[in-house]
Amino acid sequence: MNKTTLIAAAALTALFTAAQPAFAQSSNLNLWTAAGDTQITSPTSALITTASTLSGETPLTANSALLFDELESALSISGATAGDTFEGSGFAQNFVVAAGFTTTISFNWTLSTVDFDPAFADRAFFVVDGTPAVNFAVVGNSPLSGSFSYTFTTAGNHSLAVAVMDVNDTVGVSTLTLSNLSVSAVPEASSIAMMLTGLALVRAAARRRRG
């Protein structure tokens, strides 16, 4: 392996090593902050419910869904939930996005409920960096399924929370199922272009030395 190839390999290794802070915390829900009635079924899958013993319901675990203020505090999203939500559960995680990269969090989801009533349509939502919640699913007569994806494009520290909450009351249990959680860090086009330009200059210098 010549010197130019070694330099190229080192540059590529450095580029992708920079993404590892995101990967290290990535797709293992055991490393996320859990709040309320959550049950991890595999490192990349979990059940999240609005069940609370205070409402006469049976949670999946020894933990009940939390009232909105308790849930906000536990997930570090104070003030983010809507005023018509009462109690729920969720997960949250912090991510480090390396300079020159974008980091994408994605998962599949299913949302279901018991005793559907459109006046009390519970919601699944996400919160980015503590900003107001954004709904990605509302319960219906039958289970709903879909996929979620969010990309962080700014380098630095970021957070993502995912939760489901009772709307307009504290009765009736809704369940949000997460699966195939994935976090991927990808070099931006400008970073790749800069690296390729640098390698081209290295190769040109090597050719001049040989000449």
Is the residue at 207 inside a domain? no
3-state helix, strand, coil in the chain (%, to 5): 30, 40, 30
pLDDT of residue 98: 85
* Domain presence at residue 141: yes
Q: Which of 47, 4, 1, 2 is nearest to 202 (CA)?
A: 4
Confidence at residue 27, expressed as pLDDT on a 0 to 100 scale: 85
pLDDT value of residue 189: 45
Ranges assigned E (strand) in the chain: 33-35, 38-42, 45-49, 66-67, 85-97, 101-113, 123-128, 134-138, 144-152, 156-167, 174-187
d(CA 92, CA 95): 10
Domain count across the chain: 1
Residue 38 lies in a domain: yes
Summarize pLDDT for 161-172 with one digit per residue, the tens: 999 999 999 999
User: What is the per-residue pLDDT for 14?
Assistant: 53
Per-residue model confidence (pLDDT) at position 201: 46
Going by C-alpha positions, the residue among 52, 42, 44 that lies closest to residue 165 is 52
Q: Would residue 211 count as lying in a domain? A: no
Q: What is the pTM of this model?
A: 0.81
Q: Which residues of the chain have pLDDT under 50?
A: 18-22, 24, 188-198, 200-202, 204-205
Amino acid 26: pLDDT:
74
What single-letter DSSP state applies at residue 84?
Answer: T
Q: What is the domain range of residue 87? A: 19-202
So what's the pLDDT on residue 187? Answer: 73
Is residue 186 in a domain? yes
Q: What residues contact 153, with CB distance under 8 A and at least 6 apart?
A: 97, 102
Which pLDDT does position 7 carry in this prediction?
A: 53
Classify residue 72: in a domain, yes or no: yes
Q: Where would I find the H helices in 108-164?
A: none
Structure tokens at 65: 């869904």
Q: 9 lies in a domain? A: no
Domain containing 159 — which CATH number?
2.60.120
Domain membership flag for residue 11: no
